Amino acid sequence: MYRIVSKLLIYGDMPKDSILMELSDICKQADSGSESAEVLVTRAFQQVKRLLVLATDYGFDKNLWHNYLTFLLITDENPFSLTCEKVGANDGSVNYFAKSDFQMFRELFDYDFGKLEKKLGIDCFTHLTHYRAIGKPELMYNKNVSEKVQALSEQLEKTHNEEEFFVCVTNFYRDYGVGMFGLNKAFRIRTEEGNRMFFQPINNMDKVMLQDLIGYEIQKKKLVENTTAFVEGKRANNVLLFGDSGTGKSTSIKAIVNEFYDRGLRMIEIYKHQFQDLSNVIAQIKNRNYKFIIYMDDLSFEEFEIEYKFLKAVIEGGVETKPENILIYATSNRRHLIKETWKDRDDVEAENGMHRSDTMEEKLSLVNRFGVMINYSKPTQKEYFRIVVELAKRAGVTMEEEEICREANKWELSHGGISGRTAQQFVNYLAGGRRILER
C-alpha cells in the first residue's frame, strides 16, 4: 500500500494521521519488520475502529474501505478538485496528473489486505468489505452525505480504467462540489487553538419546508423571490425578518435552505461574538461555486455592545466589496436591532424645523443595510385557530375542529399567548395522546 500511496501527487498531501496514511505506514512497517507484530496489530485495530466510527457517523454500508476512499476523494480540496467544482474538467496538463492519481486510487480500491492480515494474524479488514450497518437509514443525521458517498463508491467500483474513474469523480465535483460544502447544507464556524477557524457541518438540521409553515404567504413569497434571484446570479438583497417571537422567522430561513440546497445554496450560521471573524469567513467562501447565506438568528444589540460595527463594515461600506455569492439573512424581534435610549436624543440638533441625531443615525444605519425587511407579526385569533387545525390534521389528531379550537384557546392563555410556536406546542401535546386539557 505504501508504494501506491507514495505515487499520489495531487491527492498526496493528506495528513499523516489520516486512516490511509496510518494504514500505509503499518504496511510498510510490517514489510520491513521494524515494528513488532503486537504493536502493529494494535495500530491496525485503531484504524479499523476509526473506519467503523466513520461508518456509524455517515451510515456507510457494504464496502467500508471503498466508502472511505470515496469520502477522501470528494472531500479533498486541492487546486484540481476546486477548479472542477467551478468550471468542470477542461482539457489541461493537470488532467494527466489527476488520471495518474486516479489509477493509484483504483489500485487502492482493489488492494488485498490478505497479506497484512496473514502476517499479523487478524481478519478484520476482510469483514469491512462486506459490512452491514446497524440502524434505520431514516434515523441517520448524515443521510444526505451517506447517499452521495455510497452512490459514487458504487460507480467507481464498476470503472475499468483511470479514464472512466476520472469521468465519475469530475462529474461529481461539477454537480455537487468538493469538500464539506459539497455534502452539507448548513455550517457553524469554530475556532481552535492558534485562532485556526474551520467550518463545522450541522448534521441534524430541521428538514422543514416552506409549505410546513402555515400562513404568512406574503412573507414567504418575498423571501422566495429574493432567494431565487440570488441563486440565479441576479441582483438580490440582504434580508431582515423581524417581528413577534414564535411566528416562524427562523423556520422560514431553514426552509429556504432546504428548498434551494439542490441549486447550490448553503448556509453558515454565525453568532454575535463571532462577528469579528466575518471578514475571514467571507475570504474563505468568496471564490467557491456556491451561494452562501450568512445567517444570524435573534439579532439584536444592547446599548453597550459594539459588535454591530463589524457587521456594518462587512455588509456595506468597507473597502472590500461584499462578494456576489454571499448574502446576509437575519432574524430579530426588534425592527431596529440596536436598543435605543433617551440618551441617544441628547445630541439632537434642530435646523430649519428638522431634527437630527448623530447617535440615532449611527444606530439606525445598520438596519438600513438590509434591502428587504419582512414583518412576521403575531397571528390573529382566527389565524391561530386555522394554524392549529391544519397542524392537528397533519399530525393525525382526530378531534372535531370546534373542540380543537376550544382547547387551543385554553392552551394559549397559559402558554405564552397566540403564536405559531404556541400552536405547534399545543398540537404536540394532542399528538402525544393527551386529548383534553385539565379544566
pTM: 0.77
Report the pLDDT value the prediction gives residue 99, as an integer from 0 to 100: 94
pLDDT tens for residues 335-366?
Answer: 665 555 545 455 555 555 444 455 545 556 66
pLDDT band at 438 (very low <50, low <70, confident <90, very high): very low
Report the pLDDT value the prediction gives residue 355, as an integer from 0 to 100: 43
Instruction: Say whether pLDDT at 232 is over 70.
Output: yes
Tell me how far apart the alpha carbons of residues 238 and 210 are, in angstroms, rounded to a whole number: 19
pLDDT band at 288 (very low <50, low <70, confident <90, very high): confident
pLDDT band at 15 (very low <50, low <70, confident <90, very high): confident
Closest residue by Cα to residue 138 from 67, 207, 64, 50: 207
Look-up of cell digits 435610549 = 341
**Once rounded to an integer, what is the mean pLDDT over residues 113-131?**
87
pLDDT tens for residues 165-176?
Answer: 999 999 999 888
Tell me how far apart the alpha carbons of residues 331 and 159 are, in angstroms, rounded to a whole number: 48
Q: How many residues are present in the chain?
A: 439
Terminal Cα-to-Cα distance of the chain (whole angstroms): 72
- Cell numbers linked to 218: 406574503
Tell me how far apart the alpha carbons of residues 417 and 244 are, in angstroms, rounded to a whole number: 11
DSSP three-state, residue 186: strand
**Once rounded to an integer, what is the mean pLDDT over residues 288-295?**
91
Report the pLDDT value the prediction gives residue 170, as an integer from 0 to 100: 93
Report the pLDDT value the prediction gives residue 19, as an integer from 0 to 100: 94
In 250-259, which positions are buried (b, 16+ CB within 10 angstroms) versus exposed (e)?
bbbbbbbbbb
Mean pLDDT score across all residues of the chain: 83
**Once rounded to an integer, what is the mean pLDDT over residues 110-114?**
91
Look-up of cell digits 485503531 = 46
Instruction: Say whether pLDDT at 216 is over 60.
Output: yes
Report the pLDDT value the prediction gives residue 129, as an integer from 0 to 100: 83
Contacting residues for 18 by C-beta, under 8 A, at least 6 apart: 72
Tell me how far apart the alpha carbons of residues 254 and 331 are, in angstroms, rounded to a whole number: 12
Q: What are phi and psi of 233, to 5 degrees?
A: 80, 15
**Once rounded to an integer, what is the mean pLDDT over residues 392-410?**
88
- Cell numbers linked to 230: 440570488
Report the pLDDT value the prediction gives residue 47, as an integer from 0 to 100: 94
Instruction: Say whether pLDDT at 177 is over 80.
Output: yes
Helices marked H in 263-380:
278-285, 308-315, 358-367
pLDDT band at 86 (very low <50, low <70, confident <90, very high): confident
Tell me how far apart the alpha carbons of residues 103 and 164 are, in angstroms, rounded to a whole number: 10
Instruction: Say whether pLDDT at 318 is over 60.
Output: no
Instruction: Say whether pLDDT at 186 is over 50.
Output: yes
Instruction: Say whether pLDDT at 310 is over 60.
Output: yes
